[in-house]
Amino acid sequence: KFNDFPQDFLWGAASAAYQVEGGWDADGKGPSVWDLFTKLPGKTFAGSNGDVAVDHYHRMEEDVALMAEMGLKAYRFSVSWPRIYPTGRGEVNEAGLAFYEKLIDILLAHQIEPVLTLYHWDLPQALQDEYGGWEDRRIIEDFERYCVTLYQRFAGKVKYWVSLNEQNYNLTNAYQLGTHPPAVQDRKRFFAANHIAFLANARVIKAFRQHVPGGLIGPSFAYSPAYPASCDPKDMLAYENAEEFTNLWWLDAYCFGRYPQAALAYLRENGEAPEILPGDLELLREGTPDYIGVNYYYTLTYTDNPLGGQTMQRINTTGKKGTTPPSGIPGLYKTAPNPHLETSNWDWAIDPTGMRIALRRLSSRYGLPLMITENGLGEFDKLAAGDRVHDDYRIDYLRSHVKACQEALQDGVELLGYCAWSFTDILSWLNGYQKRYGFVFVERDEQGGSLRRLKKDSFFWYQSVIASQGKQ
C-alpha cells in the first residue's frame, strides 16, 4: 500500500529553450554559445542544431493547448538569456521578455504552474568571447542582472524557479570531456569554472529573497547516485570517491557552502583546487536553496581504478548499445557495468529503485524539499499506422519511476512534484533529433519536416496518471 500523492503534487513535464524553441535569431535574440557550437563540424550527432528545433517559439499556443488537454499541473521551461540580453548585458530586449510573459500567462490561464529555469546552458556568446564565460568572476554580476530582470517581471506570477540546470553535467562536458562549448579538457579550469558558478548561484538566490517573496528557488542537479560494484573494500572506497567527485562536490557546495573533504584534499595535492577567496564560502552559505531540483535518469556503478588506469571518456551519442567505454579518474574510481540492471540503447541503466535511493539520500543529507525536475527515457520512436506512436517502453520506464516517487513519499521524503522529460520531442544536445523523449511526437527530419504534433501512447497514459493522482 502506498501513500497517495498530495493534492497539490506538481504533475509536470520539462523542456529547455535551446532544445525546443528554434527562432534562434527571432525578435532581437543574440547568439548563444550553442548557436555557434552546433555549427562546428563533428560536434553534434549528424550536425543537428537548434535553429528551428521543434519551433516552439512560433507554436507555443498549440503546445500549451496540448498540455492543458493532458491535464498537466506544471510546465518547466527555461528562459534563453540571449533573448533577454542579446549580448549578455546592456539594453534589455523587450520582445524576449514579452515571449516568456505570454507563455506564463497562457500557462496560468490553464492552471498550469510555470517552473522557470534561469539557465539551461545557452550562455550569450558575447560573454564567452569577452571574458571566457564561467571562467571569469565578471559573469556573477551579469548573471545576477539578468536574473533580477526576470524576478522583477515575473514575481507574483511564477512561484517555482530553477537557478542553474545541471551545472555538474554541463561543465563536466564543457571542461573535462570537451563535448559542450567551450570544449576544453582541463581539470583545473573545470574546478575553477564550477567555483564561479557556485558563487553566481548563491548570489542569484540571495537576490531572489528580496525580489520574489513567497517563491521557491533551487538548482537542478543531474544526480546519478553511486553504487559500489561489490562489497570489496576497494570498490567501496572507489564508490566513496565517486560520490564525492561526481555528486557531493556540487550538492555540498550548494546546500552546506563547503566542499567534501577528501576530494578537496586530493585536488589541493594535485594543484587543481579552485581559488577560494575570502568571503566566498560565506556567500555560498547565504545563498543556499529552498529545494533541490533532481534530474534523475540512471545510477552509476563504480569499481577500483589503479593509478595509470581508466581516464574520463566521451559518452554514447549514437544510440548503439554497448559502446560506452568505462570512465574514471586513475587512483580513485572508474565506472563498471551493473549486472542487475537493463540499459537503454544509450547504455543508461534503467533503475527506478535508484531514484528512490536518490530521493532518500538527498532528503536525509540536506533536509530540503525535492522536486524531480527531469526524468524520462530517450529512445528511437517509430511512427505507426494511424499516426500513432506505441512507446510502451517509455510507459514502463515512467510508470516504475512514478512508483518510486510514491515509495519515496512513504519513506518521508518531501517531494513537491515530478516533471517528466520531456513534453514534446526535442533536440537532444549531442544526440540530435533521433533520441526522442516526448509525450508528443514531433514529425521532423533534419531539415525541419512538417513539425506536426502527434500524441504518443505515453501521452494518454500520463493523462490518466494525472487524472487519478498517481493511481496506475
Mask: binding to ligand BGP, 366-405, rule CB under 6 A, as x and -? --------x---x---------------------------
> H helices within 94-231, ranges in order?
94-109, 125-131, 138-154, 167-172, 187-211
The amino acid that residue 346 corresponds to is W
Give how far Cα 215 sits from Cα of 118, 181, 363, 381, Å: 14, 32, 20, 38
Is 166 noted as a catalytic residue in this protein?
A: yes
424 binds ligand BGP (CB under 6 A): no
Whether the CB-CB separation of 6 and 413 falls below 8 Å is answered with no
The string of DSSP codes covering 113-130 is: EEEEEEESS--BHHHHHH
Residues 279-298 that bind ligand BGP (CB under 6 A): 295
Determine which residue in the list 172, 224, 431, 458 makes contact with ligand BGP, applying CB under 6 A: 431
* Residues within window 211-230 making contact with ligand BGP, judged by CB under 6 A: 222
Q: Which residue is nearest to ligand BGP (CB)?
A: 428
DSSP classification of residue 73: S
In the annotation, is 374 catalytic?
yes
Gap between the Cα atoms of 213 and 204, Å rounded: 14
Please state the closest distance from residue 121 (CB atom) to ligand BGP, in A. Answer: 7
Asked whether the beta carbons of 422 and 376 are under 8 A apart, the reply is yes
> In the chain, helix, strand, coil percent, each to 5?
45, 15, 40
Number of Cβ atoms within 10 Å of the Cβ of 471:
11
Question: Contact region for ligand BGP (CB under 6 A) — 4-12, 153-161, 252-260, 423-431?
Answer: 423-431
Handedness of CA 180, 186, 188, 189 (dihedral sign): negative
- We find the least distance from the C-beta atom of residue 53 to ligand BGP, in angstroms, to be 12
Stretch that binds ligand BGP, among 333-341, 395-403, 424-432, 441-449 (CB under 6 A): 424-432
Which residue in 402, 390, 436 sits closest to 4, CA to CA? Answer: 402
Which region, judged by CB under 6 A, interacts with ligand BGP, from 84-92, 163-171, 285-293, 334-342?
Answer: 163-171
Residue of 428, 432, 440, 453 that binds ligand BGP (CB under 6 A): 428
Query: If we measure between CA atoms, which residue out of 361, 387, 396 comes closest to residue 440?
Result: 387
What's the residue count for the chain? Answer: 472
Q: Which of these, 29, 36, 67, lies nearest to 50 by C-alpha position? A: 36
Quick check: 166 binds ligand BGP (CB under 6 A)? Answer: yes
Binding of ligand BGP by 419 (CB under 6 A): no
Which residue out of 113, 135, 240, 374 is catalytically annotated?
A: 374
Q: Is 38 in the site for ligand BGP (CB under 6 A)?
A: no
Based on CB atoms, which residue is closest to ligand BGP, 44 or 310? 44
- Minimum CB–partner distance for residue 78 and ligand BGP (Å): 9
Residue 374 C-beta: closest distance to ligand BGP, Å: 6
Burial of 101 by CB count in 10 Å (0-12 exposed, 13-18 middle, 19+ buried)? Answer: middle
Least distance from ligand BGP to the Cβ atom of residue 220, Å: 7
- Listed ranges 143-151, 164-172, 185-193, 245-253: which one lies at the site for ligand BGP (CB under 6 A): 164-172
| Shortest Cβ 160–ligand BGP spacing (Å) | 16
Q: Does residue 53 bind ligand BGP (CB under 6 A)? A: no
Answer for which of 77, 146, 169, 291 binds ligand BGP (CB under 6 A) is: 169
Q: Which of 135, 166, 240, 379 is catalytic?
A: 166
Which string of b and e fits 158-167 if b means at least 16 CB within 10 Å?
bbbbbbbbbb
From the number of C-beta atoms within 10 Å of its C-beta (0-12, 13-18, 19+), residue 322 rates as exposed
Contact residues for ligand BGP (CB under 6 A)?
16, 19, 165-166, 169, 222, 295, 374, 378, 421, 428-431, 435
- Active site (catalytic) residues: 166, 374
